[in-house]
Amino acid sequence: MGYINEKKQRVSERYHKDLFIIYHFGNKVILMKQLFRYARILGLAQSYSVFYGQIKELAEAEIIRREPFTAYGKKTQLHMLTLKKFGIRFIEGKGSSQSVAAVPKSNTNERILVSIFKNCYILNKLIPRIQQKCPNITVETVIELINKDRSNILQSKNQGVVFLNNILHSPTLRPFLNSDEINYEINRLTDIKQKRLMGLVGGASLSECKDQISRSPKLTKLDSYSIDSLINAHVYIAQVKIVQNKPLITLLLFDVYNKEAIYRMATQIACAFHMFGRYFNEFSLRVGIVGIDEVACRILESEAEAVVSDFFTKEIRGSRLSRILADWRVSSIEQEQIQIRFTHYDITNQYLEGIKHSNLIRK
């Protein structure tokens, strides 16, 4: 190991918890402001000046990259941190930077926006739950609670098999599971991943594509929707627990771009409902639709509750949300199993410099 790599190794070992948080909690990217919150809570830095010195040392060693955070096409005064190849290699325990992939540069800032939503959930919802029972918070206690909740909040795209294996081997959930269907889904997703690596578009074979031509797009989506589809749509499983002798599944639907229409959100909820109907013999579903602020939350809620009436008879047929769910084969009786709540993490004020960007964000 050369002198430069020895120095990087020493710095990485000194601040390994910071690197662990960036890698696992942010999928290799995180807002500096959110990492500082973790540093204070976990006792990694007692002041911002100390924390800033640590980040400066990591950046100078080329373990992380610090750059301005761009929100919806405009730079803010905040900074985001991205793990560079040595930092990724260190966390993954690889012997060479050539054996790991760099964080790809994208034309969008989707990755950091998803990281913001995820870490808002961890910081604002999970850590207070831990603090009620244990004042000394560690990275391990956060991971332990996430695992106890059977959450996939830390998983990234195309990692749905991890969640399926976790619930399949849960003694508590076993009596409520359709194990054959879950095993079939694990094999199907694994096969799709292998085909994708072989270069087949979307992981589908030619014969599978032909089979889908004769089916309606709606039926195809309902039948093929998976945990991977859920994650790709920025929908995460926050918790699976037994309530009144029945599994209660809690989902978080992140409105990352602040442009989600209620139709698309309702479609994701309907597809998720049918998907869990394949995995579980019985269950109820709770969905939190998470916007960036109170205004966005109110807009979505008003769209969902808008009354729909028959064009000819003017007879009221229910809310727009309920009609969309019905159109996607979730009956009125089944809808009673679904609780939907609109909420927000005050991201505009906390991380987008408040009303300064409001007009830009609403476009």
- Sequence-separated (6 or more) residues with CB below 8 Å from residue 306: 319, 320
pLDDT in tens, 184-239: 999 999 988 888 777 655 555 444 554 555 568 888 899 999 999 999 999 999 99
Order across the sheet with 64-71: list the strands. 29-31, 74-83, 64-71
The domain locations on the chain are 3-107, 149-362
Strands (E), the chain: 29-31, 64-71, 74-83, 235-242, 247-254, 284-291, 307-309, 316-319, 338-344
CATH of domain 3-107: 1.10.10
pTM over 0.85: yes
Q: What is the pLDDT of residue 362?
A: 47
> In one letter, which amino acid is 300?
L
pLDDT in tens, 19-73: 999 999 999 999 999 999 999 999 999 999 999 999 999 999 999 999 988 877 7
CB contact at 8 A, 352 and 71: yes
CA dihedral 267, 199, 194, 22 (to 10 degrees): -70
CB contact at 8 A, 292 and 361: yes
pLDDT in tens, 155-169: 988 888 999 999 999
Cα 251 to Cα 120: distance, rounded to the nearest angstrom: 15
> In one letter, which amino acid is 329?
R
- Does residue 260 have a pLDDT over 80? no
Chain mean pLDDT for the chain: 88
Task: Please state, as a whole number, how many other Cβ atoms lie within 10 Å of the Cβ of residue 269.
Answer: 24
